[in-house]
A and B are shown apart, each in its own frame.
Chain A
């Protein structure tokens, strides 16, 4: 099975611009989550999508948004980029929704990330 694919791998953007990152989950996985990793704040949860609906959201401003398509692929968008948005953005997919307590105990499969640099 192919792993989680994130594109592009690297991006350089200017302050004020917007950016869209893409994530293709493992085939059959319907849940996609996004994380931001920075040296100062570490790994922080952005949001999670399942069945094209945002299920959970972390503590990030509204400039960060996302969506999921019917094939489970997901995109995240950051508008009006700031220098502090420079980070590694990681996408993770999971196989099943948490419909029952046993099903919650699943691991996440991460992509290689998109390194965003804002200048």
Chain B
């Protein structure tokens, strides 16, 4: 079963704009990860944030984590057409294996040139 929901389900923006995606989850976590998937292909890891961290940056990506609200957000700044993809959050439970990821439902991002 899926851990939670992501919203919006779909997001369409112009190149250069920022894109924000939200993820909510249901149970306690060890860490939360974001992945990108291009058109039905494999997933690419973007960023990992631990349960004791509140914010993390990687290039044009900024992730926040609010464990009290069981939610996370992914911000992509200055979006490019190449950012068009589906974005998934995935959680790891405190007692679980880092290799068992529970995925959200995903956000389809379209960046228009």
Contacts and interface: CB of A to CB of B under 8 A. Distances in A.
Given A45-B100, A45-B101, A109 B40 contact: no
Contacts of A44: 1-2, 103
Contacts, number: 83
A28 B22 CA distance: 34
A116 B11 CA distance: 28
Interface residues of B, number: 28
Interface residues of A, number: 32
A42 B103 contact: yes
B40 A94 contact: no
Contact of A90 (B42, B50, B99): B42
A21 interface: no
Most chain B CB atoms below 10 A, which of A103, A105, A107, A110: A107
A92 interface: yes
B48 to A, nearest CB: 6
B98 interface: yes
A55 interface: yes
A90 B35 CA distance: 13
Give chain A's interface secondary structure class: strand
Interface in B8-48: 30-31, 33, 35, 40-45, 48
A42 B45 contact: no
A111 B44 CA distance: 9
Interface in B84-105: 88, 90, 92, 96-105
A106 B98 contact: yes
Contacts of A43: 2, 88, 90, 101, 103, 106
Given A48-B100, A94-B99, A104-B30, A110 B88 contact: no
Interface of A: 4, 31, 33, 35, 41-45, 48, 50, 55-56, 58-59, 88, 90, 92, 94, 98, 103-113, 115
